[in-house]
Amino acid sequence: MPTENVFVLLPKDKVRHDAGPISTIYRNLDTASADQIVTRALGELAMSMSSLADQVRLRDLTDLNRQLRRLQRMAENLGLVSFEQVCGDVRACLDTGDVTAFAAVWARLLRVAERSLTPEKSWEGLNQI
């Protein structure tokens, strides 16, 4: 079979952040306390996402919608706009029962989560909205 009609797609999701929520934390607390809160929240978000990824890998969709809603709120509280929006998109796929869309949007969530939670990838060129 000729491969001239095969296209390799390399998705490049633009990850958006809103600096407002984290700025508010730093404005209301001393730097050490704010650092601790933000670090703890990002760590909790990363652990939750990792746990959820394991669950999906095992095809256990039990309570997935509730867990995604929790991730969505956590991302919102940290100003991770893209992460929050894609969590909502995954939930919409679950609600409609569209397994193909779920697989595609889940893959996007994994990419966005990695870019949002990896410091060297996510905070370069902070895109405020």
Model confidence at 127, pLDDT cuts 50, 70, 90, reads very low
The pLDDT value given to residue 1: 52
Q: Quote the distance between the C-alpha of residue 114 and its chain's center.
A: 7
**How much is the average pLDDT of 21-47?**
95
Residues contacting 62, CB < 8 A, separation 6+? 55
Q: 28 is in which domain, residue-wise?
A: 20-122
Model confidence at 12, pLDDT cuts 50, 70, 90, reads confident
Rounded CA separation 96/114 (Å): 26
Rounded CA separation 13/22 (Å): 22
Q: Is residue 2 part of a domain?
A: no
56-91 in b/e burial notation, b at 16+ Cβ within 10 A?
Answer: beeeeeeebeebbeebbebbbebbbbbbbebbebbb
Q: Is residue 117 part of a domain?
A: yes
Kindly report the number of other CB atoms within 10 A of residue 41's CB atom: 17
> Domain total for the chain?
1
Q: Which of 26-30, 78-82, 120-124 has the lowest mean pLDDT?
A: 120-124
Residue 81 has pLDDT above 70, yes or no: yes
- Residue length of the chain: 129
Q: Is residue 42 part of a domain?
A: yes
Q: Is residue 26 part of a domain?
A: yes
Rounded CA separation 13/30 (Å): 34
Q: Is residue 53 part of a domain?
A: yes
Q: Is residue 14 part of a domain?
A: no
Q: Is residue 6 part of a domain?
A: no
